[in-house]
Structures are given as structure tokens and as C-alpha cells.
């Protein structure tokens, strides 16, 4: 999608809306993912990486970092921040059991013919149930698409999958044990079941 002045409001409206707790967990995960070894500084650059967390500005990041420092999850260092053992334990806990999220990952065929089904059925049903739907094709990201999908599934409370238009469907499911299972189903098997 091209970013131009005429669509900037739509792009901003499509950004995920994280709770403060989700923002803290996202930051902690980013710090952990960008740390090479225990006791080393994270390569997370607070001055430039805050948009990856869908934060308003560096001031919001500073606030969240202070909460993590006060909570004993990270400690400041001359060159940035380091995860404490308590921080590493929290990163593992997030990966193992997920978090309390109101997000629902929607796996579906992203053909334009499916937009009406999504916008008139799937999205309203998810919102009516009190959750926030997330389609990876409508979410800005800088990761490889498969990494983004796996990450977003893990961050979601649950997933809705629509196999319309698929001869072979491959869905990534995050389990509470932190493993990712791959399920492959042929449309003939789905029809006969």
C-alpha cells in the first residue's frame, strides 16, 4: 500500500490498538529478541525503534522503560538497557502462555472478493464479541510475512480461520505450550468430513 497524504488517516486508523500491558509486553519481547546473550545490552534502539511498538513518540517509550526498570525487569546500562533474570523469566512466560489479549488473528484468503465477507460478517462478529480483529494484510509490518503471522498468532487470544478458496490450507496455530503446530488440510477432506 502506498503512503500518501490522502490515505494517512486510514493507515493510522488501521494500526493495532494495544493496551498498556500489551505495550509493556511488546517492549520486553523486543528487548529480549535484540539481546545476543545474558548480561549483554539489548540492540533495541530507543531513539529509532519505538514505531515498531506502535507507540506515539519516544516519550511514551521512555515511560514504558521506566515502568520496566521500576518493576525490576530491565536495568539501565551506559549503552542502553539489559534484561534482568526476572525480565528473561517474563519473556519466557509471555512466549509460553501468551498474554491477556483482546486481539483475534484472522486467517483467510486475501483476495478482494473476500473483503465483503470479512467486512460484513467476520469483522463485525469479532467486534461484537468484544475483541479486535487482526488481518495481517491490513497490518503494517517490516518482518517477513511468515514471521509476522506466527508472531501475531502468538499474541492473539484466538484465531478465526476461513478456508474459502483454498485447495490446500496451511494454518499456523499457537498452542499454550509455546509450540507452533502446522495443520494441512485438503479441501476434499474438508468437504467429505
Percent of the chain with pLDDT over 90: 23
Return the pLDDT at 70.
Answer: 96
Provide the residue count of the chain: 193
Within a domain: residue 3?
Answer: no
Within a domain: residue 2?
Answer: no
Burial readout 98-135 (b: 16 or more C-beta within 10 A, e: otherwise): bbebebbbbbbeeeeebeeebeeebbeebeeeebbbbb
Within a domain: residue 108?
Answer: yes
How many helices (H) does the chain have, and how many strands (E)? 8, 7
Q: Are residues 12 and 71 in the same domain?
A: yes
Q: Are residues 29 and 92 in the same domain?
A: yes
Within a domain: residue 46?
Answer: yes
CA proximity to 117, closest of 106, 128, 102: 106
CATH number at residue 188: 3.40.50
Residue 64 in this model has a pLDDT that exceeds 70: yes
Q: Are residues 114 and 182 in the same domain?
A: yes
User: Structural domain tally of the chain?
Assistant: 2
Q: Which of 97, 117, 147 is the last residue of a domain?
A: 97
From 4-8, 23-27, 133-137, the region with the lowest mean pLDDT: 4-8
Q: Give the C-alpha separation, 122 to 189, whole Å.
A: 24
User: pLDDT tens digits, residue range 66-100?
Assistant: 999 999 999 999 888 999 999 999 998 877 655 56
Q: Are residues 121 and 91 in the same domain?
A: no
Within a domain: residue 150?
Answer: yes
What pTM value is reported for the model? Answer: 0.53
Q: Which of 48, 77, 97 is the last residue of a domain?
A: 97
DSSP category for residue 114: G
168-174 and 180-186 as β-strands: parallel, antiparallel, unpaired? antiparallel
Question: Per-residue confidence at 45, pLDDT binned at 50, 70, 90?
Answer: confident
Percent of the chain with pLDDT over 70: 78
Q: Which of 97, 128, 162 is the last residue of a domain?
A: 97
**Are the C-beta atoms of residues 156 and 126 closer than 8 Å to each other?**
no
**Are the C-beta atoms of residues 100 and 154 closer than 8 Å to each other?**
no
Question: Residue 174 is part of which domain span?
Answer: 103-192
Within a domain: residue 90?
Answer: yes
User: pLDDT tens digits, residue range 138-174?
Assistant: 777 677 777 877 877 877 878 888 888 765 544 444 4
CATH number at residue 14: 1.10.10.10
Amino acid at each position: 500500500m502506498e503512503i500518501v497524504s490522502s490515505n494517512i488517516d486510514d493507515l493510522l486508523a488501521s494500526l493495532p490498538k494495544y493496551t498498556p500491558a500489551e505495550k509493556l509486553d511488546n517492549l520486553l519481547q523486543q528487548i529480549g529478541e535484540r539481546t545476543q546473550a545474558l548480561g549483554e545490552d539489548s540492540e533495541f534502539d530507543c531513539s529509532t525503534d519505538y514505531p515498531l511498538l506502535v507507540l506515539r513518540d519516544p516519550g511514551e517509550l521512555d515511560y514504558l522503560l521506566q515502568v520496566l526498570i521500576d518493576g525490576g525487569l530491565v536495568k539501565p546500562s551506559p549503552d542502553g538497557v539489559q534484561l534482568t533474570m526476572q525480565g528473561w523469566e517474563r519473556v519466557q512466560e509471555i512466549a509460553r502462555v501468551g498474554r491477556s489479549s483482546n486481539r483475534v488473528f484472522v486467517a483467510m484468503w486475501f483476495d478482494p472478493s473476500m473483503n465483503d465477507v470479512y467486512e460484513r460478517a467476520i469483522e463485525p462478529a469479532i467486534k461484537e464479541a468484544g475483541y479486535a480483529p487482526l488481518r495481517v494484510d491490513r497490518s503494517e509490518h517490516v518482518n517477513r510475512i511468515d514471521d509476522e503471522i506466527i508472531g501475531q498468532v502468538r499474541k492473539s487470544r484466538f484465531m478465526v480461520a476461513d478456508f474459502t478458496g483454498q485447495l490446500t490450507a496451511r494454518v499456523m496455530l499457537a498452542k499454550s505450550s509455546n509450540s507452533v503446530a502446522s495443520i494441512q488440510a485438503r479441501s476434499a477432506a474438508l468437504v467429505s468430513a
